[in-house]
Amino acid sequence: MDSAELDWLSLVAVPMLAVRSGAVVAMNEAAEALFVDAPKALPIAEGAPPPMGATCTVAGVPRRLKVGARQVSPDDDLWSLTISEARSAPDNATDDGDWVDLLPAITNLLPVALLIEDANDVGVFANRGFSEIFGYELAEIAALDDWWRKLYPDPVVREAARLDWAAKLAEAPAGDGTISTSEFQIRSGKGIDKMLQTHSFRIGGYRVHSYVDISHRHRMTLELQVLADTDALTGVPNRRSFFQQAGALLRAGQPLAVLLLDVDHFKLVNDRHGHAFGDEVLVEIAKRCRAALRSGDVLARLGGEEFAVLLPGQDEANATAVAERLRQAMANSAAVGPSDRKPVTVSIGGACAVTGEVPLEELLLRADRALYAAKRAGRNCVRFYTGEPSDTASGGGAAPGENRPQTRRHKDAG
């Protein structure tokens, strides 16, 4: 074949050689620029179309070149060789095949968001998962100011998030600066609040972040927490939640009043009308109590027919007024169930802690003694603990017809 017949090589932009019988017979300008001095021969694997990577010395410099071979003319054994730089495989790779070139496509198929930032905290790469999770293209939030402003539109939340991230960076170890699993909430570009889990590390002059959307798991966790803290029948906080909230309020050192409410003659209600009707009564009592309380007050069901109320910041006078309002909400309301039934009434006992100096166990014991005094006074009334002997009549024993084991009621206090 005449060399003029290989002029088409000059039309190819990438380095290309024409090889016959293992010897280079022509090359284009791009190949001359690569090799500087034209080689007389180049080892190739003829008949193997897939590109191969090989290390060789070009102009005195070790280079990893990838060679693609194609037979041009079977008649005279003419081959064209396409030369390109081969990327080095990662240290933990077993080969340097085509998968290295596929890495960008691979990252786009991962079910996570990837973000790479330069030394100036500017995003330089994001995969497809990034836009799917965040609801923004990288260009929209690549700059750090745009990131904070758009993902945290609330200034208060934004400042808290900034401080939290700064603290994590300060705590990150030297070297790769790894920030292991961390969770945070953002407002996506579609206006949806999402809970994300991130892992971050430095490599070279860049920081790499990976993000996983855990919003569904987070919602499930919150729902399970609500179920664990809620009375299934009435929908108000349960015994466990009551003790947790009461303890937290006392530790805060603010004034706190506790009310214990007990449904009068509830055993007779169950005996005469059945437990299903008794449940209706308890649901209605919870409903009426919530309507009579402030938003910051806590109503809880401790068990059976006994309810408790936490009144943060209330002294005895104010707490007594609230207790009386609750009592009247029961006594003056329409009866639950048949029209010939009398309204259900409650007896209420209360106690106050002025500055949190009273342990929760003692505060509940005082309220329980006051409740007992209300029962002794004929029920359907309010009594507050005053420290007088009448508050502890019979040492806190049960009123006739009532079964009120204090040790069972307050075993969770502390």
Q: Which residues are catalytic?
A: 305
Q: What six digits make up the tokens of 93?
A: 């790779």
Tell me the C-alpha distance between 48 and 68, whole Å: 8
Tell me the C-alpha distance between 360 and 251, whole Å: 10
76 to 1, 21, 71, 144, 159: CA distances (angstroms): 8, 9, 10, 61, 74
Cβ partners under 8 Å of residue 200, min gap 6: 177, 178, 179, 182, 207, 208, 209, 210
Number of CB atoms found within 10 A of residue 154's CB = 10
DSSP symbol at 3: G
Number of CB atoms found within 10 A of residue 183's CB = 11
Q: What six digits make up the tokens of 210?
A: 């990976």
Tell me the C-alpha distance between 137 and 126, whole Å: 8
Q: What six digits make up the tokens of 188?
A: 């996506």
Q: Which residues pair with 56 in a beta bridge?
A: 63
3-state helix, strand, coil in the chain (%, to 5): 40, 25, 35
182: left (phi over 0), alpha (psi -120 to 50) or beta: beta
- Diameter over CA atoms, the chain: 123
Query: Token match 């009334």: residue?
Result: 381
Structural contact between residues 79 and 72, judged by C-beta atoms closer than 8 angstroms: yes
Q: What six digits make up the tokens of 314?
A: 């209330």
